[in-house]
Structure 1
């Protein structure tokens, strides 16, 4: 098995075990909760000084997106340079990418470029929100979350370029041009889902930030409240719901044979599902009249 798949299986498995223990086994040692939860769901730090010592501000989420914009931008610029003949993949580069995923390069140039462009749109939006929209409290996350977050946004574009003809192979191509006519109906459906969910997630980010601002636009509190209206009437964490759909939309663009990206989608689904369930439980525990019909992440289901 290749390096990226091994890593994704490891973190997905560890996350699944830890969150299952937290949700369904009350006697789970507090150290497990301390190393798994973050933000408002983090247990009181006074009882876990070790966890506190390896914690960083949650606002450091911003670092993920700054890195993602730079890293994805690098691969887009490199792909354009290859397309215009300014450079070409070296044997060292293709061998390095082969270590990350042993799948034979199969994405066409159009599919690979379309996926990279969509990823760039997504991470740029998240970066802009994090820098100029989101209102972060003094909540923390432990360093393990920070490292996994950084790694996630390094891996994200690599799942595309490591299986992309023209970048992950030294084989000479007659044409490396983007062709709209090559995009299938399924891929267009994926693009629509991806862009719609990004739009909805952006609207939710503004909604969450506005709840912490007064009429003058100044921050007046860092607390939490029960949001009502829109998607919040159906699930506690619609931004988690749309995060899953964003990756599923991108999977439609890449296709069912996207071996490495499929593993990344699995990690995102597990991560967002458990995060939503834990957040949902926190809201129910902290707000007496929390709407009983509201679900965690999937309307009417979960």
Structure 2
């Protein structure tokens, strides 16, 4: 959901009407809406009854798609197990995010400091996902810089936790879940840039501070608290899989 306040935009028009659905030119917004619909549809199907007692092939495929790790149902046929990937491959998602979103963050910083345009291939990607620049928000450099910075820091922290803190069992994830995770972390940075109209002009620190609002401060503090809490939970879970000699115990 997005609400734009400037006249003539796709969000809030001069007539005062509010558009709740994504703009017609935003492919990335349509993709997120599609994912929301698919997740809600899967949830409703799961709540219709006790799927664990149904033996049809369709039910088995559905359950295999929505479950991972220890939530997988008992003995599964070999043709379902052929799509299994190690759960410890979760670190691939964060490695992709650190690399890809780090590139986007570097390009944004370079553009703000030097007024340099994005490379042509990045502009083509952004144009592919959002073909109507008039729907984007201007003067949002601070929000874009802050969002990409926090996203990159979060991804780096999770990557380090996956490599050096988390203790994984022999659990598996489905190939479709792995692909969804790759697409998810690729689209995050694109989504941030999708909402901002980059003017490719030099922006001073004073100009950035003039864009500072209360929700930037609140969001940053909430991010700090949530990151600390999540990191602490991962430490607790990792320690539960170790004995007194720090030997990993994977069940």
Query: Per the shorter chain, which TM-score range?
Result: 0.7 to 0.9
Computing the radius of gyration from Cα coordinates, the structure with the larger value is 2
1:123 maps to which residue?
155
Q: Distance in 2 between matches of 1:76 and 1:109?
A: 12
1:166-189 CA-partner distances (Å, limit 9, x unpaired): 2xxxx4535364733532112111
Residue number among 21, 43, 51 corresponding to 2:45 in the alignment: 21
Q: Does 1:35 align with 2:65?
A: yes
* Aligned partner (choices 161, 169, 191) of residue 159 of structure 1: 191
Q: What's the CA shift for 1:89?
A: 3.1
Could you tell me which of 201, 221, 224 is aligned with 1:173? 201
Q: Is it true that 1:222 corresponds to 2:250 in the alignment? A: yes
Summarize the alignment of residues 64-213 of structure 1 with structure 2, pairs less than 5 Å apart: 64-85=93-114, 87-89=116-118, 93-101=122-130, 102=132, 103-106=135-138, 108-166=140-198, 171=199, 173=201, 175=203, 177=205, 179-213=208-242
**In 1, Cα distance between the equivalents of 2:185 and 2:204?**
26
Q: Which residue of 1 aligns with 2:9?
A: none
- In structure 1, stretches of 5+ residues that fail to align are 224-302
Normalising by structure 1, we get a TM-score of 0.66
1:11, CA displacement in angstroms? 2.5
**In structure 2, how many angstroms separate the alpha carbons of the residues matched to 1:90 and 1:141?**
36
Residues 76, 174 of structure 1: CA spacing in aligned structure 2 closer, same or farther, 3 A cutoff? Answer: closer
Q: CA deviation at 1:6?
A: 2.5
Segments of structure 2 that go 5 or more residues without pairing to the other structure are 1-23
Distance 1:9 1:112, change over 3 A: same
TM-score, length-normalised on structure 2? 0.78
Deviation at 1:80, TM superposition (A): 1.9
Q: Which residue of 2 aligns with 1:279?
A: none
Q: Is the 8 A contact 1:15 1:36 kept in 2?
A: no
